[in-house]
Structure 1
Amino acid sequence: MEFLSLIYTIPAFYIFCLIWRLFNQRRNQECYILDYQCYKPTDDRMLGTEFCGKVIRRTENLGLNEYKFLLKAIVSSGIGEQTYAPRNVFDGREASPTLEDGILEMEEFFNDSIAKLLQRTSISPSEIDVLVVNISMFAAVPSLSSRIINRYKLRHDIKVYNLTGMGCSASLISVDIVQNIFKTQKNKLALLVTSESLSPNWYNGNDRSMILANCLFRSGGCAMILTNKRSLKEKAMLKLKCLVRTHHGAREESFSCCVQKEDEQGRLGFHLGKTLPKAATRAFVDNLRVMAPKILPSRELLRFLVISLIKKLKITSSTKSSSGGATKFTKSPLNFKTGVDHFCIHTGGKAVIDGIGMSLDLTEHDLEPARMTLHRFGNTSASSLWYVLGYMEAKKRLKRGDRIFMISFGAGFKCNSCLWEVMRDLGDANVWDGCIDDYPPESLANPFMEKYGWINDVEDENSIELPDFLK
């Protein structure tokens, strides 16, 4: 009997060990953000209204119509006059950048934000196991990741990923890389660095689809530390719940709507095509189709299913009906607020924010963080999401248990999104210190709109009399 009892006990023991191992492994696969640090350049790099006028005026290859087009674009952009530009713009050398300009812009960001982040978290550079760097439009040799390793003397066995060409949605791609590493390796610390180098990418031609980029993009960046260490769970700010990546590069319209290329005169720039809104919409819809079941409660999915079924039946019956007088049925969209508390939207431009707000039926309160970030910092490319997150934190909106939905778009064409859970009440000092009390202002009309907004009311471009700074 003792022998039989032992035989029955051994399989049970192994089953218990297997279950415990699977449970323990899953716990080690969690992905947390310990802290993040957005970059605020120095005040001498701030773009005021008058200085922007000087930059436009000294662009030699622009004709009269291009000046008018640029002015209209700036007036309608939703960007204020406290955003930042690279130093070579203030030196008047944006049309003839050097390699050193690009490196200097990135090193200023690295030396400021990474140092502050390591100091705040009390983490030594030697503790970092993984480094992921994404800078889309600038590649140097040695790589930018190597420069960070050299500057902070990171370990020789650190796992390094240096991403280029991934566009404005690159930071969530970097998070996905870190998450996948955490699934196979436990007790790791990852440093993620996301930014864009504007110094070498100023367009000096007159193609309207390419001079738009000069109006929209601004200097910025963010460094963050992620971990799957259970011992650091209580210190974590956010926990990653799920992440979905959508890539429409196989579609020619989507692939070619955002592309770096040369114009007819051989001047390098970043082309924003007319098919961009259509490509963004398609990618967004496909992304939500995968993301919705992961983040919405069952009751909302069931409600949507029932409404869709009823609509389909009504359409079928109206088709068969000889009278043809069936009442039209408007499908109710999914209510993402049933599974999401805050929406962190990429500040690609006013139209991007408006479009997402309309698609998800968001209120002005929901869109406020993205609108204010666009106004204060502009489109800082892949790092823009973290400035939006910083606004929410500075306004003390983020409470333990809240869920944050991040949405970003990028060339390729890509739409990436993820859901974070807030691990503790957040309200620490961040990049918005010193100005958060000024937001939202009573009126969001930017200084360009106040001075030159009349240009939007002019129907005949030939009747426009240019401001003095453009004459």
Structure 2
Amino acid sequence: MDLSLILWYTLSFLPLIFVLLQFLDEKRHQNCYILDYECYKPIDSRKVSTKLSGEVIRRNKHLGLIEYKFLLKAMVSSGIGEETYGPQMVFDGREAAPTLYDGLVEMDEFFQCSLDNLFRRTGISPSEIDVLVVNVSMLATMPSLSSRIINMYKMREDIKVYNLSGMGCSASLISVNIVQNIFKTQKNLNALVLTSESLSLGWYAGNDRSMILANCLFRVGGCAVLLTNKTSLRDKAMLKLRCLVRTHHGSKDEAYDCCIQREDHNGIVGFHLGKNLPKAATRAFIDNLKVIAPKILPVRELFRFATLLLVKKLCQKWSKAGGSATKPMINFKQGVDHFCLHTGGKAVIDAVGQSLGLTDYDVEPARMTLHRFGNTSASSLWYVLAYMHAKKRLKKGEKILMISFGAGFKCNSAQWEVVRDLDEGTVWKDFIHTYPRKNLTNPYMEKYGWLQDEDPDTFSIPDDYEIPE
């Protein structure tokens, strides 16, 4: 072939090659990686023991026998153990009248402990953070909590800042989604996500059963997550975000009202959990799965499910008996190796596990997290991830599905890919050898079961009553 012709063809395709290389480079920089994360572990003196729970119950003068029995049943069936953590003001006996200072102290302890450890371990300094996203639902301050962190660590003046409040237990994936969208438009960024909840100002001191329940489930916790889209740090990353789906049913009154902060009949502010919550969660969960399933499952599994669904409908149409009552299920294990389920409560974990056809091994991380740390709101997912991390379950190339629920009502999910084998220590490292535990029952019934036999007309716990050891 003529050399001049070869040169002509080469020069003709150069613009196309250049555009293709530019496109591939932009796609590489749009990836969202987790470099590291740090779950907050408060000091041991903040553990909410059975004895402390009894003292808190006794201090609440609004409660009668019916409320005591309800609390006792809730505690026993909650799936929470005696090593979860509470805010300092509960230990000081001031839960009926918390102050703004209590909320700020709670947050500062989380910020300093988690960020100091994260910066030290990664070698990333506060001045290298380009994006900061903070989500704490129940505490909105002026200046914002994100500004408080910037002042605390003297971060750069051009840092991009997002401060989220009122987003509920699903807020951490919303924060990740904000970072993901920023990464799609700018290269070489480091982002920091802090996710927590303020129990100090969210503690309920009344007797409305729909609001007392929150005190039995929610505990102190938080997580700091360091993300990047720098290709130079790709080999150091732990996880890569594959996809993220958000579902919001706030336009439906039933869904909006099922998880809501309000005042009770005595004017005491608390967090109401309605009876229609399971129904609202189920609907949001189903709609979320409809969107994320095609993104994370292989075509063969989607085809199998569609075929079974079609066959079932045809059988129902032709059969006088109405066909089989068994519903076909999508096998999410065809596209997912590990499941990070929100620790909203024992019933929530069991229901989601059953809906997805998961085994005890699959839901073990969520159950053990609920027992050890309780429901830490938006940060719960990261404690579940840390459990699998500490158990050395996460191997390179495996996929993780995170599922969270939150007020609004929302269901958010995300799939991550493990970039390298993970075997470093986590918040679980000092006691992971004691898990999993077969017996997750707590001693509340054993110590307070006598309440069941009391006369509701004469019932009271005297101030000088000694809580059983």
Is 1:395 the counterpart of 2:397? The answer is: no
TM-superposition CA deviations, 1:334-361 (whole Å, max 9, x none)? 0011111111001000010010011011
Residue 148 of structure 1 aligns with which residue?
149
The answer as to whether partners of 2:64 and 2:460 remain within 8 angstroms in 1 is no
Residue 66 (structure 2) pairs with residue 61 (structure 1): no
**After the TM superposition, which residues 115-126 of structure 1 pair with which residues of structure 2 at under 5 Å, given as runs?**
115-126=116-127
Matched position secondary structure for 2:429: coil
The residue that corresponds to 1:429 in the other structure is 425
Q: Deviations over 1:296-315 (max 9, x none)?
A: 11111110011011111112
The one-letter amino acid of 1:36's match is Y
Q: Give, as a single letter, the amino acid of the residue that structure 1 aligns with 2:389.
A: E
What's the CA shift for 1:12? 1.7
Unaligned runs of 5+ in 2: none
Q: 2:330 aligns with which of 321, 331, 334?
A: 334
* 2:130 paired residue number: 129
Structure 1 counterpart of 2:306: 305
Cα distance in 1, alignment partners of residues 336 and 323 from structure 2: 33
Map Cα deviations across residues 270-308 of structure 1 (whole Å, 9 max, x no partner): 000011000000000000000111111111111001101
Asked whether the 8 Å contact 2:64–2:459 carries over to 1, the reply is no
Runs of 4+ in 1 over 3 A off after TM superposition: 1-11, 449-455, 458-471
Question: Is contact 1:129–1:188 with CA below 8 Å preserved after alignment?
Answer: yes
Is residue 195–residue 223 contact of structure 2 (8 Å, CA) maintained in 1?
yes
Answer yes or no: is the 8 Å Cα contact 1:297–1:338 preserved in 2: yes
Q: C-alpha distance in 1, partners of 2:455/2:326?
A: 41
**Offset at 1:429?**
1.1
Distance 1:419 1:309 in 2: 28
Note if contact 1:134-1:195 (Cα within 8 Å) is conserved in structure 2. yes
Do the aligned partners of residues 29 and 328 (structure 1) sit closer, same or farther apart at CA in structure 2, a change above 3 Å counting? Answer: same
Q: Contact between 2:339 and 2:363, CA under 8 Å: does it hold in 1?
A: yes
Q: Given the alignment, which residue of 365, 368, 372 partners 1:372?
A: 368
Q: Distance in 2 between matches of 1:359 and 1:274?
A: 20
Deviation sequence 1:74-130 (CA, Å, 0-9, x none): 111010010110101111111111111100000011010001000000011111100
Of 335, 340, 356, which residue of structure 1 is paired with 2:352?
356
Counterpart residue number, 1:72:
73
**After the TM superposition, which residues 30-69 of structure 1 pair with which residues of structure 2 at under 5 Å, given as runs?**
30-69=31-70
Matched with 1:270 is 271
Query: Where in structure 2 are the equivalents of 1:184-199 lying within 5 Å?
Result: 184-199=185-200
* TM-score, normalisation: structure 2: 0.95
Question: What is the CA distance between 1:166 and its match in structure 2?
Answer: 0.3
SS in 2 for 1:184: coil
Report the CA distance shift for 1:450/1:360 in structure 2 as closer, same or farther (over 3 A).
farther
1:288-303 equivalent positions in 2, closer than 5 A: 288-303=289-304
- Maintained 8 Å contact 2:37/2:225: yes
Question: Counterpart in 2 of 1:407?
Answer: 403
Find the aligned partners of 2:458 and 2:186 in 1 and give their Cα distance. 63
Q: Is the Cα–Cα contact under 8 Å of residues 204 and 271 in structure 2 kept in the other structure?
A: yes
- Number of positions where the alignment pairs a residue of Structure 1 with one of Structure 2: 464
Matches within 5 A, 1:77-116: 77-116=78-117
Deviation of 1:65 after TM superposition, in Å, equals 1.1
The offset of 1:463, in angstroms, is: 11
| Other-structure match for 1:438 | 434
Cα deviation 1:197-224 (Å, max 9, x = unaligned): 0111111111111111111100000001
Aligned to 1:321: none
Match of 1:286 in 2: 287
Question: Residues of 2 paired with 1:65 and 1:283: CA distance?
Answer: 33
Q: How does 1:181-330 map to 2 (within 5 A)?
A: 181-318=182-319, 324-325=320-321, 327-328=323-324, 330=326
SS of 2:48 mapped into structure 1? coil
Cα distance in 2 between the residues matched to 1:155 and 1:376: 37
Measured against aligned partners, the alpha-carbon deviations of 1:243-291 in whole angstroms (never above 9, x if no partner) come to 0000000000000000001112211110000110000000000000001
Q: Secondary structure at the match of 1:52?
A: helix
Q: Which amino acid aligns with 2:217?
A: L
Deviates further, 324-333 or 286-295: 324-333
Identity of aligned residues (%): 65
Query: Once the two structures are superposed, what CA deviation does each residue of 1:317-350 show, in whole Å capped at 9, x if it has no partner?
Result: 23xxxxx246425232000111111110010000
* CA-based RMSD: 2.2
Secondary structure in 1 matching 2:201:
helix
User: Are residues 327 and 136 of structure 1, via their aligned partners in 2, closer, same or farther at CA, if it must alter by over 3 Å?
Assistant: closer
- Letter matched to residue 162 of structure 1: N
Any idea what SS the aligned residue of 1:199 has? Answer: coil
TM-score w.r.t. the length of structure 1 is 0.94
User: What residue number does 1:138 align with?
Assistant: 139
Map residues 19-34 of structure 1 onto 2, 5 A cutoff: 19-34=20-35
The one-letter code matched in structure 1 to 2:384 is V
* Runs (5+) with no aligned partner, structure 1: 319-323
Contact 1:49 1:447 in 2 (8 A): yes
1:445 to partner: Cα distance: 1.4
Among candidates 334, 340, 346, match of residue 344 of structure 1: 340
SS at 1:201 equivalent: coil
Q: Which amino acid aligns with 1:262?
A: E
Give the AA of the match of 1:258.
C
Deviation, structure 1 residue 448: 2.0
Instruction: Describe the shift of the 1:66–1:424 C-alpha distance in structure 2 as closer, same or farther (beyond 3 A).
Output: same
CA separation in 2, counterparts of 1:346 and 1:67?
A: 27
Deviation at 1:447, TM superposition (A): 2.2
Given the superposition, is the C-alpha separation of residues 434 and 25 from structure 1 closer, same or farther in structure 2, using an over 3 Å criterion?
Answer: same
User: 2:394 corresponds to which letter in structure 1?
Assistant: L
Partner amino acid for 1:72? K
